[in-house]
Structures are given as structure tokens and as C-alpha cells.
């Protein structure tokens, strides 16, 4: 299976609390709900398509606890995400959790367990939220693709997606699309170490 990091971010890279003011108030964050004004039909169609590619959800402990609390409470039969989120296998990476109540859940202890899981047949293990886990697995070379929904807003504060120290990672853009409300839908493949070079003037690139 491929590991795919799927994240909602602002233009300044904040991934915390896209869905509501109360979703994630860690460290006194009060600017949640920044994605909601931009949700439109194209965003819904594409993110539903992405979710349909998943054969499992790969989550950190904090995101798992929040999802396990909230998703089972969504009972709207017309919600396009609910059945899929609640029925997919969940894999939570945690050194403290012993079992999960959001079935079916499997607890993994380390990135080595994720690497072993990747060897199983299937399509995608999707990381949703779980920025710290996403960073750790990207640094470990275990992320195959990155999907970003970039909202046209600058928050100036909040937990950023790529803020953990690690090696510089290269990405290759494979798909790009803009929604009518201004969201950017970007898909990348990981491409090893980020290339570096010295600028040699315009003539060198013509």
C-alpha cells in the first residue's frame, strides 16, 4: 500500500482546526474554522474521490481521539464522508494507547510497524490531520504522496504542517486544480531529497 498524506492548510502553512473554532484549541488556538467558508461542490467531489481510494486511515493519537469522538456522531445519510470514515480500518500510531473504540482499530507502536503495514496488498493508507505523524513518516521516507488543499487565507498563528525538523524533502507535482471559491487542490509524489542549486542567471535556463 502507498502512504498518502492528505492535509488542509492555509497559505502560511497552518493545518490546525480547519473545520471549526472548537475542533482543536491546543495552545490557545482560537482561529479554527478557516476552511469552511471556501468549501464548494468541487472540493467535496474531489475529497470524496480521494477518500474512496483509501484502504485504511493512518492516524496519530490526538487526531484519532478527536475523530473517534466526532465521526460516529454524524448520522446524516447524505453526508458523503461518514460511512467511509466510520467503516475503514483505522491504524493509530501511539506508544500509550492499548486499544481503540472506533472499530475497526489497530494500534501501531512505531514507524517500523507502518513500514511493515505498507508491505501489505492494497491501495492507500491515508493520513488525515496528524501533522506530527505525517512529518515523522515523511522524514522516515515512508510517505509516497502528499495531497494538499490550500485555503486562500493567512492566519498568522497556529500549528503548521511542516514545522518539524528533518531532512529537506523533494516533491513532484502531479495534479493541480483550483475550485471556484479559490481552494487549490495539489497532488505531489515524493521525490527523495530536495534538490539544491546556485542561480546562474537567466541565460542558463533558456
State how far the Cα of 96 lies from the Cα of 167, in Å rounded to an integer. Answer: 27
Domain 2-21+51-176: assigned CATH number: 3.40.430.10
Instruction: Tell me how many degrees the CA angle 65-70-73 measures, rounded to the nearest 5.
Output: 140
Task: Collect all residues with Cβ–Cβ distance below 8 Å to 123 and sequence separation of at least 6.
Answer: 1, 2, 53, 54, 55
Nearest CA to 162 out of 195, 140, 132, 125 is that of 132
- pLDDT of amino acid 162: 87
- pLDDT tens-place string over residues 30-83: 999 999 999 999 999 999 999 999 999 999 999 999 899 999 998 888 899 999
User: Domain spans of the chain?
Assistant: 2-21+51-176
Cell of 67: 475523530
Radius of gyration for the chain, computed over Cα atoms and rounded to the nearest angstrom = 18
DSSP string, 180-197: TTS-EEEEEEEEEEPP--
- pLDDT tens-place string over residues 89-142: 999 999 898 888 899 999 999 999 999 999 999 999 999 989 899 999 999 999
CA distances from 58 to 41, 131, 133 (A): 26, 11, 9
- pLDDT of amino acid 165: 65
Cβ contact 184:173 at 8 Å: no
- pLDDT of amino acid 163: 77
Q: Select the more confidently predicted residue: 198 or 174.
A: 174
Task: Collect all residues with Cβ–Cβ distance below 8 Å to 7 and sequence separation of at least 6.
Answer: 15, 127, 128, 129, 131, 134, 146, 147, 148, 149, 161
- pLDDT of amino acid 44: 97
Q: Select the more confidently predicted residue: 45 or 168.
A: 45
Amino acid at each position: 500500500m502507498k502512504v498518502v498524506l492528505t492535509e488542509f492548510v492555509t497559505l502560511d502553512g497552518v493545518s490546525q482546526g480547519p473545520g471549526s473554532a472548537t475542533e482543536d484549541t491546543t495552545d490557545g488556538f482560537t482561529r479554527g474554522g478557516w476552511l469552511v467558508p471556501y468549501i464548494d461542490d468541487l472540493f467535496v467531489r474531489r475529497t470524496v474521490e480521494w477518500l474512496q481510494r483509501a484502504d485504511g486511515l493512518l492516524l496519530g493519537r490526538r487526531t484519532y481521539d478527536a475523530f473517534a469522538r466526532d465521526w460516529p456522531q454524524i448520522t446524516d445519510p447524505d453526508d458523503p464522508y461518514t460511512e467511509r470514515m466510520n467503516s475503514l480500518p483505522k491504524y493509530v500510531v501511539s506508544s500509550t494507547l492499548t486499544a481503540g473504540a472506533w472499530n475497526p482499530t489497530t494500534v501501531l507502536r512505531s514507524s517500523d510497524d507502518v513500514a511493515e503495514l505498507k508491505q501489505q496488498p492494497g491501495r492507500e493508507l491515508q493520513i488525515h490531520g496528524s501533522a506530527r505523524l505525517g512529518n515523522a513518516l515523511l522524514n522516515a521516507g515512508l510517505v509516497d504522496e502528499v495531497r494538499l488543499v490550500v485555503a486562500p487565507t493567512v492566519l498568522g498563528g497556529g500549528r503548521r504542517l511542516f514545522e518539524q525538523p528533518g531532512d529537506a524533502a523533494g516533491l513532484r507535482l502531479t495534479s493541480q486544480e483550483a475550485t471556484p471559491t479559490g481552494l487549490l487542490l495539489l497532488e505531489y509524489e515524493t521525490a527523495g531529497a530536495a534538490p539544491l542549486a546556485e542561480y546562474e542567471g537567466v541565460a542558463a535556463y533558456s
